Amino acid sequence: VCWGGRPQRRGVCEKVMTMSPRKPNSAVRKVARVRVGKERVVGYIGGEGHRLQEYGVVLLRGGGVKDLPGVRYKLVRGKYDLGGVEGRKQGRSKYGTKKG
C-alpha cells in the first residue's frame, strides 16, 4: 500500500480474526482485516486482550510480523477504537496503557 509518505494511516476494521503462525511456532495470533482507502490490508493486534469489533476505527503503522504470512502492518494500541492493554505495568507506551 502506498501511503504517500505518511507514517500511519487510519482505517476501518472489517473483520477480527485469528491466524496460526508459520513453522516452527505455534500460537493463535489476533489480526484484523482493515480497509484503508479502497484497499484491504491485514494488521496485527499486539498485546494481551482487546475489544475491537467490526467497523471499529483503528490506526495502522508499518512493520510486519515475521511468522505471520501476509501481515505487513500493526495496529496502534490506545488510539481510536482500539484501547490500550489493561493492567500493563512495563512498556506501557508501546501498548497505549495509561499510568495508574
Please say if the pLDDT value at position 77 is more than 90: yes
Long-range CB contacts for residues 82-90, cutoff 8 Å, separation at least 24? 82/45, 82/50, 82/52, 82/56, 82/58, 83/50, 83/51, 84/47, 85/47, 85/48, 85/49, 86/49, 88/47
Percent residues over pLDDT 90 in the chain: 95
pTM for the model: 0.94
Domain ranges of the chain: 8-83
Backbone angles phi, psi at 74, to 5 degrees: -125, 150
Question: Of 1.10.540.10, 3.40.50.300, 2.40.50.140, 2.40.50.100, which CATH number belongs to 8-83?
Answer: 2.40.50.140
What gap in Å lies between CA 62 and CA 64, rounded to an integer? 7
Q: Answer whether residue 1 shows pLDDT above 70.
A: no
